[in-house]
Amino acid sequence: MGRTLADLVATLAADPRHGAVVCDIDGTLAPIAPTPEQATVLPAALPELERLVERYTLVACVTGRPAVQARRMVPIPGVAISGNHGLEVMHGDDVTVVPQAARYLDAVHEALLVVENDGLLPELGCRVEDKGVTFTVHYRGSPRPDHALRYLEAQIVPKLDRAGLAWSFGRMVLEVRPPVAIDKGSAVRRLRGRKRITNLMYVGDDRTDLDAFREATIKIAVRSAEGPPELIERADACVDGPEQVVELLASL
Ligand SMILES: [Mg+2]
């Protein structure tokens, strides 16, 4: 701690050949929208990422979205993508679910059906998003998010526990996934592979980004009223929103 954002940027930018820039997408490169379909990466971010690809050894996005969606949002071939919190790996245009997680596809699908058939969730303004090897319950659209959250905690989480699945709450979401030791941290580790990287900057806004912080030498939190306080506590520096993330990228 004690390093300013300018110091951190200078450290990374001084040696781009041994540097990596890894970003989350939603809430980081893309402002949060009422529904995930409406979210788009800030247009100004794309040329910056393209420029960074030329300079840095690794430029990547690690996201909770399916990899194919992430690629559509960041259509720059040089930017590596890890989707579904590291459960999906993208090689070219091909997406593979990592084998440990693929074993749980049926269990995730069964739980998805149970949640989709819960009659009260639509009444509470919750939407269920099928993401293949994971699914997400969004309660951003709920007229009473506190009620929705309480219902999810009391009625849905125990069902997920009984199904043996892993879950976590994020910014107005409940994310459900296979109970495997893969997260955004292992996703970053996989992306870095055997590349000789001394400085890895990770930028994120939510709870699952804490896992990626484990693997980063420079941890940048995107501040929001909804984000977990631990993210700010563990970060080396903070920015105030996606616009400032673009400014950060431009400074690298
Ligand atoms: Mg995010």
By CB atoms closer than 10 A (0-12, 13-18, 19+), residue 196 is exposed
**pLDDT at residue 206 in the model:** 95
User: Which three-class secondary structure state does DSSP give residue 136?
Assistant: strand
Backbone angles phi, psi at 105, to 5 degrees: -55, -45
Give all strands (DSSP E) within the chain, no chain letters.
Answer: 19-23, 58-62, 80-83, 88-91, 94-97, 127-130, 135-138, 166-170, 173-177, 199-204, 218-222, 237-239
CA 190 / ligand 1 centre spacing (Å):
19
What is the pLDDT tens value at each position of the chain, 252 positions in all?
568 999 999 999 999 999 999 999 999 999 999 999 999 999 999 999 999 999 999 999 999 999 999 999 999 999 999 999 999 988 888 899 999 999 999 999 999 999 999 999 999 999 999 999 999 999 999 999 999 999 999 999 999 999 999 999 999 999 999 999 999 999 999 999 999 999 999 999 999 999 999 999 999 999 999 899 999 999 999 999 999 999 999 999
Residue 132 Cα to ligand 1 middle (Å):
19
CA 25 – ligand 1 centroid, Å: 6
Give residue 147 CA to ligand 1 midpoint distance, Å: 23
32 CA → ligand 1 middle, Å? 8
Dist. CA 222 → ligand 1 center (Å) = 9
Determine the distance from the C-alpha atom of residue 87 to the mean position of all C-alpha atoms in its chain, rounded to a whole number: 12
pLDDT of residue 2: 63
Q: How far is the CA of 62 from the centre of ligand 1 (A)?
A: 9
Instruction: Write down the pTM of the prediction.
Output: 0.92
Q: Cα of 98 to ligand 1 centre, how many Å?
A: 22
Ligand 1: centre distance to CA 74 (Å): 14
Cα dihedral value 8, 11, 17, 19, nearest 10: -30
List of domains in the chain:
5-98+182-250 (3.40.50.1000), 100-177 (3.30.70)
Kindly give, in sequence order, each residue whose CB lies less than 8 Å from that of residue 157, ignoring residues fewer than 6 positions away.
Answer: 167, 174
CA 1 to ligand 1 centroid distance, Å: 23
**Residue whose entry in the numeric block shows the structure tokens 């905690």:** 153
Distance CA 84, CA 97 (A): 9
Neighbouring CB atoms inside 10 A of 106's CB total: 9
CB 173 within 8 A of CB 36: no
**Ligand 1 centroid distance, CA of 64 (Å):** 8
User: Which residues have CB atoms below 5 A from the ion given as ligand 1?
Assistant: 24, 26-27, 205-206
What distance in angstroms lies between residue 154's CA and the mean position of ligand 1's atoms?
25
